[in-house]
Amino acid sequence: MKVVFCIDDNPRYLLLLKVAVRSLRALHGRDVPCLCIYAGKEERVLKTLEEEAVPLARHRPRLLPELLPHRARRCAGCFLKLELALVPELEEEDMALYCDVDVLFHRPITELLRLKPQYMGMAREATAPFYHEHQSLDYEFRGRRYAVPMPFPIWTFSSGVVLFNLRRLRRRGIIDHFLAFSLQNVEVIGNFDQSLLNYFFGKRITHLPDRWNRPPYQHDCSESAHIVHFHGPKPWDKTAFPDLRINCFEAMRDIWMQYLREEELEQVMRF
C-alpha cells in the first residue's frame, strides 16, 4: 500500500513533507512505497521532490481552485486528498494511506496498513466539535437530485490521516457522487475537505484508534502515538495557538527538528 501526501505551492508544506517522508523511511526503510500528489507546476516544488526521491503524481483536480470559495483557495492542496480514487498512479491500488504533510511518523504503521475499512478509516478529532445548521444537503448528479441527511450527532473525524478504500470508492461511481456533492456544497460547509468527508460519509466512516493520528498537545502523545499530527501549531510556531503548545508539543517538535539539515533549520527559523 502506498502512503500518499498532497501538496500545493506553499513552501512550508514542502518542508513538512520532507520530514514526513524522512521519518516514514527511518521506520520502514528507503523503499517504503509513497507518492506525492501535486496540481501545480512550480519548478522549485518539482526539484525538491526529485531531490528527496519522492514519486510524483501530477493531478488536475475536479475540485479546481477556481471553483472553490476564495477562503479555500489558499489551501487548495488539502482538497486533493478527496480525489485519490481518480489518480492514475493509484489505479492498481485497492487501498491508500493518505497523510497530511504535517505528520511525524513516530512508531511503525504496519498494523494500520493491514486494516481494510469499508469506505475509509479516520481517527477522531477532539478539538473540532461537530456542528452545522443543516438537516440535509443536496446535490445534482447526471440530471438527478440527491439528498444527503446530515449525520448528527457524531464527533468529527480528522482528515489528517485517512485510510481510503479506493476500490470501494470507485465502485458504482461513489467517488463521482462525492465530488459532485463536494463541488456543490463547499460554499456552505465550515472546515473544507474535513467537513466534506464527515458530512457525506458520516457514519460510514470507520473509527481508527487515536494512535494513528495523535496531536502533540494530547498528554499521551509521546507514549502512544504512532503518527504524530501537528494539527494546530506547526513545529516552528512560537506564538500561535498558545493553548495548544502544551503537553508533548515541545518534545515532538524537537524530534521533528532533528530530521532537518542545517540550511533547512535556518529556513525554518525564518518562518
Residues in contact with Mn ion by the rule CB under 5 A: 100, 102, 160
Closer by beta carbon to Mn ion, 13 or else 178:
13
Beta carbon of residue 16, minimum distance to Mn ion (angstroms, whole number): 9
Beta carbon of residue 100, minimum distance to Mn ion (angstroms, whole number): 3
Beta carbon of residue 176, minimum distance to Mn ion (angstroms, whole number): 26
Residue nearest to Mn ion (CB): 100
* Beta bridge mates, 122: 162, 207
Cell of 57: 503524481
Beta carbon of residue 138, minimum distance to Mn ion (angstroms, whole number): 29
Closer by beta carbon to Mn ion, 8 or else 168:
8
Closer by beta carbon to Mn ion, 99 or else 150:
99
Closer by beta carbon to Mn ion, 102 or else 210:
102
* Beta bridge mates, 120: 164, 205
d(CA 139, CA 178): 9
**Alpha-carbon distances of 74 from 68, 78, 239, rounded to whole Å:** 10, 9, 22
Phi-psi region of 192 (alpha: psi -120 to 50; beta: other; left: phi over 0): left
Phi-psi region of 241 (alpha: psi -120 to 50; beta: other; left: phi over 0): left
